[in-house]
């Protein structure tokens, strides 16, 4: 049975997990809290692949966890990977109870961690309900990659009050400086950012994560979708491509590869094939920043998982919309202010 204290500690696990958002991929973001006699004695989070898992970090911080309750936003692992199983570490530490927000549905675990704990006489509670749904949303990139073999796709767009994403008069900021700063942080947190060739030719974007706090330690893979591979060699994307800032052009079969250093051309027949290749490269999250044509192609293929809209308090009168056709969207599950804008987040597919 989950009570108010359990919910509070699980919420803290979620907060701790976010500290690994930039660095843990393609692993899940996980936080752990250890409580004994009503007091928090240890906390931890998973920082990067190959590093200690959250439970192990929290156990080390606690020192002595005998008889304690361990909270974690994801079922403790039960298999040997780069590190030993967390379930075994919890058994060895002599904890009395484990509370997890959700069962790990991936084939390597899928309840085996919970079974290992219970076999050792440790009480285990799974929160379920809205706590589980929130935990799955938090780890949607990892779940999508693990279960579907492709990155989780978030379509991000700035939209005016009358539903326009660009002005017919030419380039113009729609969203506020606060919203644009958030987008740079989003780029720092994903493995890839994608646009269509129309956006490149119209706006000549860089698509890098800039002016973040702290500064981005790495840049996302920058992806351009264009059947004809027309990325100009003089574009800012091509000119800024390098070993630490690669560019990938997704083209159709038979397209002539782009002749520019550190720009790779990938020939595929569909967006789904492109995402499958990104999945093979262990990219778990993709931020789609393209215009209506590319977004509609992704939508029609069932490849948009999440929609993030920065709704600005301006009207443009004319210009393109989010998609090239009318689309009925579900109600957003999250709404927040972003300067003068309103950010709405809608799940088109639950993880």
Average pLDDT, stretch 68-84?
Answer: 87
Rounded to an integer, what distance in angstroms lies between the CA atom of residue 114 and that of residue 72? 12
Rounded to an integer, what distance in angstroms lies between the CA atom of residue 340 and that of residue 343? 10
Which alpha helices (DSSP H) does 190-335 contain, by range?
Answer: 197-203, 236-240, 271-280, 292-300
Q: Which residue has better confidence, 283 or 173?
A: 283
- What is the band of 59 on the pLDDT scale with cuts at 50, 70, 90? very high
Tokens 């958002």 locate to: 21
Rounded to an integer, what distance in angstroms lies between the CA atom of residue 294 and that of residue 301? 11
Average pLDDT, stretch 297-314?
Answer: 96
pLDDT (0 to 100) of residue 313: 93
* 97 has a pLDDT exceeding 60: yes
Positions marked active-site: 55
| Tens digit of each residue's pLDDT (9 = 90 or more) over 125-174 | 999 999 999 999 999 999 999 999 999 999 999 999 988 888 776 556 88
pLDDT (0 to 100) of residue 105: 95
> How is residue 43 written in tokens?
């906390």
| Tens digit of each residue's pLDDT (9 = 90 or more) over 228-263 | 999 999 999 999 999 999 999 999 999 999 989 999
Q: Contact 27/47 with Cβ under 8 angstroms?
A: no
Distant-in-sequence, close-in-space partners of 103: CB < 8 Å, separation ≥ 6: 75, 109, 110, 111, 114, 126
pLDDT (0 to 100) of residue 217: 87
User: Mean pLDDT, the chain, as a whole number?
Assistant: 94
Rounded to an integer, what distance in angstroms lies between the CA atom of residue 13 and that of residue 65? 17
Please report, to the nearest 10 degrees, the dihedral formed by the alpha carbons of residues 284, 285, 291, 292 taken in order: 70
Edge to edge, the sheet with strand 192-196 lists 263-267, 247-251, 221-225, 192-196, 285-288, 152-159, 306-311, 341-347, 334-338
- What is the band of 208 on the pLDDT scale with cuts at 50, 70, 90? very high
Helix (H) or strand (E) segment spanning residue 186: helix 177-189
Rounded to an integer, what distance in angstroms lies between the CA atom of residue 74 and that of residue 27? 12
Average pLDDT, stretch 299-303?
Answer: 97
Average pLDDT, stretch 96-124?
Answer: 95
pLDDT (0 to 100) of residue 172: 67
Query: How far is residue 230 from each of residues 170, 252, 320, measured CA to CA in Å?
Result: 21, 11, 22
Rounded to an integer, what distance in angstroms lies between the CA atom of residue 351 and that of residue 349? 6
Q: Contact 300/173 with Cβ under 8 angstroms?
A: no
């Amino acid at each position: 049975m989950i009570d108010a204290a359990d919910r509070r500690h699980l919420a803290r696990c979620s907060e701790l997990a976010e500290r690994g958002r930039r660095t843990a991929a393609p692993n899940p973001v996980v936080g752990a809290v250890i409580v004994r006699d009503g007091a928090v004695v240890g906390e931890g989070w998973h920082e990067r692949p190959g590093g200690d898992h959250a439970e192990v970090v929290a156990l080390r911080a606690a020192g002595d966890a005998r008889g304690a309750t361990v909270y974690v936003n994801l079922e403790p692992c039960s298999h040997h990977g780069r590190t030993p199983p967390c379930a075994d570490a919890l058994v060895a530490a002599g904890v009395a109870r484990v509370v997890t927000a959700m069962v790990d549905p991936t084939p390597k675990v899928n309840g085996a961690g919970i079974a290992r704990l219970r076999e050792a006489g440790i009480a285990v509670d799974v929160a379920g309900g809205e706590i589980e749904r929130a935990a799955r949303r938090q780890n949607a990139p990892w779940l999508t990659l693990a279960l579907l073999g492709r990155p989780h796709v978030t379509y991000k767009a700035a939209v005016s009050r009358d539903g326009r994403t660009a002005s017919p008069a030419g380039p113009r900021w729609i969203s506020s400086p606060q919203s644009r700063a958030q987008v740079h942080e989003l780029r720092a947190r994903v493995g890839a950012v994608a646009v269509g060739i129309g956006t490149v030719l119209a706006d000549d974007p860089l698509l890098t994560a800039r002016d973040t706090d702290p500064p981005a330690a790495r840049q996302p893979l920058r992806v351009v979708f264009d059947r004809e591979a027309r990325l100009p060699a003089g574009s800012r994307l091509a000119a800024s491509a390098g070993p630490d800032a690669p560019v990938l052009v997704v083209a159709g079969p038979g397209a002539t590869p782009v002749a520019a250093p550190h720009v790779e051309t990938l020939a595929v027949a569909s967006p789904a094939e492109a995402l499958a290749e990104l999945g093979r490269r262990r990219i778990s999250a993709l931020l789609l920043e393209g215009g209506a044509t590319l977004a509609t192609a992704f939508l029609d293929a069932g490849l948009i998982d999440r929609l993030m809209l920065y709704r600005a308090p301006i009207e443009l009168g004319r210009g393109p919309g989010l998609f090239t056709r009318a689309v009925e969207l579900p109600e957003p599950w999250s709404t927040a202010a972003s300067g003068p804008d309103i950010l709405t987040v809608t799940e088109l597919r639950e993880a």
